[in-house]
Amino acid sequence: MQTAIAPQELRPTVMEVDLSALTHNLQCIRAHVGAAKIMAVVKANAYGHGLAECARQLAADGADYLGVALVEEGIELRRAGITKSILVFGGIWGGQIAHYLDYDLDITASSADKLHAIDETAAASGRRARVHLKIDTGLGRIGVQWDRLSPFADAVLAARNCDIIGVFSHFATADEADQTFAREQLRRFHETLDYLRSRGITWQYAHTANSAAILTLPEATFDMVRPGLILYGVAPGTHLQNVLPLRAAMTLKSKVVYFKVIHAGQGISYGQHFHAEHDTRIATVPVGYGDGYFRRLSGRGEVLIRGSRHPIVGNVCMDQMMVDIGPGGTAYNGDEVVLIGAQDKETITVAELAETLETTPHEILTSTNLRVPRVYL
Ligand SMILES: *Cc1c(COP(=O)(O)O)cnc(C)c1O
């Protein structure tokens, strides 16, 4: 007979997600963009926060649309009971089109061939496809090149079984201080819309603003905006931290599970890269790179215990890591350890970790893997 395991018997490492922060951030964005619709971007497990839970909250809070990257993410949302319009950003692949139709998902048409395939599948099944035309204005990922639109426009006019819901593009550099290229992409997008209009093509929503553009380029608002990062309370760059009063939704935390005193000269962890300069106190925390925490923070990162910062010493292991509390410090088994987020008056921000690790805040948010349970507040 197997008995149920109580939460307090499990490893004390969790990601806490404050759903009220999503509500607050959506309201901030709403106030900032005025009448434009908001497509809440929940791809990649809602930037690590949990796809269905976040989507349900954002839908209840009045997000107009949801955006995901993969058709399977859209299907998961439908199976979770979400009835809002959902756009899948990714290019279609293989036999996916029928699934879009089955689950009432908006499809990204990123080439004339793909649009043709969407139209044929819709015709064969006697249904209408909801399509957003993807224009590449400079990111160079997917989409029809903004300066080669004519054959695509022909395909749009021939697609009798498609409803053209949107026309969209995506910025490459809106998070940078220099807005020159973002403005050039915006100019190309305007040129695209003018051309498509001149061909008699109509749509409901032109949309191109990601989080960074929402904060820096009000001219890029159009009919709808597509915030991801800022919905979760994280600014796309340190220079953009105070544009909106956002609240971080994620806290990654654990507990001290082992505590010891080591003597000067003693080494810590694989490779023995840390040797104590003096007698000191070391806490062990049960979280590691096997959870998606960053091994590159070995000897560089900090965590919060009892409201102060303490350095990670030695290599981060797969499942555990060690923290130097200092010769006079105190910590007890069971003390809370915050790896991302706030404790008392101190905070380890996603932006700070992104800077230390020379990456984007997006990568920090999506790194914690599913071994870490999500707990919703
Ligand atoms: C991820 C993504 C977004 C959201 O980007 P953020 O920088 O997180 O706001 C918007 N649009 C598309 C097409 C995306 O892929």
Same domain, 295 and 152: no
Domain containing residue 365: CATH number: 2.40.37.10
Distance 108 CA to ligand 1 centre (A): 14
Q: Do 223 and 269 belong together in one domain?
A: no
Amino acid identity, position 210: N
CA of 90 to the centre of ligand 1 (A): 11
Q: Name the DSSP class of 106.
A: B
Terminal Cα-to-Cα distance of the chain (whole angstroms)? 33
Among 206, 233, 260, identify where a domain stops.
233
Return the CATH number at 37. 3.20.20.10
Q: Quick one: DSSP state of residue 290?
A: G
Q: Are residues 124 and 219 in the same domain?
A: yes
227 lines ligand 1 (CB under 6 A): yes
No. of helices (H) and no. of strands (E), the chain:
11, 21
Tokens encoding 369: 């893997």
95 within a domain of the structure (yes/no): yes
| R_g of the chain, CA atoms, integer Å | 24
Amino acid at 303: V
Q: Which of 200, 233, 266 finishes a domain?
A: 233
Q: Which stretches of 176-320 are assigned E, i.e. beta strand?
A: 205-209, 224-225, 250-255, 258-262, 267-268, 274-275, 280-285, 302-305, 308-313
CB 163 within 8 A of CB 131: yes
pLDDT value of residue 1: 65
**Are residue 35 and residue 181 in the same domain, yes or no?**
yes
User: Is 300 found in the same domain as 208?
Assistant: no
Does one domain contain both 120 and 165? yes
What angle, rounded to 10 degrees, do the helices at 51-60 and 19-33 form? Answer: 50
Residue of 132, 170, 232, 244 to test ligand 1 pocket, by largest number of atoms within 8 Å of CB: 170
- Tell whether 139 is covered by a domain: yes
170 in ligand 1 pocket by Cβ < 6 Å?
Answer: yes
Could you tell me if 37 and 145 lie in one domain? Answer: yes
Residues 208 and 262 in one domain: no
Pocket test for ligand 1, best of 33, 226, 366 (most atoms within 8 A of CB): 226
Whether ligand 1 lies within 6 angstroms of the CB of 89 is answered as yes
On whether the CB atoms of residues 147 and 182 are closer than 8 A, the answer is: no
What pTM was computed for the model? 0.96
* DSSP 8-state secondary structure symbol assigned to residue 53: H
Per-residue pLDDT of the chain (377 residues; tens, 9 = 90+): 688 888 888 999 999 999 999 999 999 999 999 999 999 999 999 999 999 999 999 999 999 999 999 999 999 999 999 999 999 999 998 899 999 999 999 999 999 999 999 999 999 999 999 999 999 999 999 999 999 999 999 999 999 999 999 999 999 999 999 999 999 999 999 999 999 999 999 999 999 999 999 999 999 999 999 999 999 999 998 889 899 999 999 999 999 999 999 999 999 999 999 999 999 999 999 999 999 999 999 999 999 999 999 999 999 999 999 999 999 888 889 999 999 999 999 999 999 999 999 999 999 999 999 999 999 99
Residue 133 counted as domain residue: yes
Beta bridge partners of residue 39, listed in sequence order: 65
Neighbours of 319 (CB within 10 A): 15
Kindly state whether residues 272 and 195 are assigned to the same domain.
Answer: no
What is the model's pLDDT at position 329? 85
pLDDT of residue 295: 98
Could you tell me if residue 238 is inside a domain? no
The confidence score (pLDDT) of residue 55 equals 98
In this prediction, residue 194 carries a pLDDT of 98
> Three-class SS of residue 248?
coil
| 280 vs 359: CA distance, rounded Å | 32
3-state secondary structure of 274: strand
User: Does residue 172 lie within any of the structural domains?
Assistant: yes
Q: 158 and 107 in one domain?
A: yes
Please give the Cα distance from 242 to 255 (Å, whole number): 31
The range of the structural domain enclosing residue 136 comes to 19-233
